[in-house]
Amino acid sequence: MEYFVYILFSEKFDKLYIGHTNNIDRRIYEHNLGHEKSTRSGIPWKLVYSRAFASRSEAYNEEQRIKKRKSKKYLEKLINQV
């Protein structure tokens, strides 16, 4: 099964959200329904980046690596390279 690291963007707050999942379409749908407290206020969310991995642990490790960067410039560079 493939897993994905994804980045969502909220125009409402000019905010990015990073996560991982095995089903991107379902996950975006859940974020936009307000199922997640951390993203509820930023609805609507738009997918701006995704990358596939062979395992959940690889996707999780990449998510954590991206989050540790804590740099909006780094995230923008990552998004724009796609």
Domains of the chain and CATH, by start: 3-80 (3.40.1440.10)
Tell whether the torsion through CA atoms of 80, 62, 70 and 18 is positive or negative: positive
The answer to whether 50 and 6 are in contact (CB under 8 A) is yes
Tell whether the torsion through CA atoms of 61, 55, 53 and 28 is positive or negative: negative
Structure tokens of 63?
């998510």
Query: What is residue 82's predicted lDDT score, i.e. its pLDDT?
Result: 59
Query: What is residue 71's predicted lDDT score, i.e. its pLDDT?
Result: 84
pLDDT by position in tens, the chain (length 82): 999 999 999 999 999 999 999 999 999 999 999 988 889 999 999 999 999 999 999 999 999 999 998 788 888 888 988 5
The answer to whether 19 and 56 are in contact (CB under 8 A) is no
Q: Is 0.75 topped by the overall pTM?
A: yes
Query: What is residue 67's predicted lDDT score, i.e. its pLDDT?
Result: 93
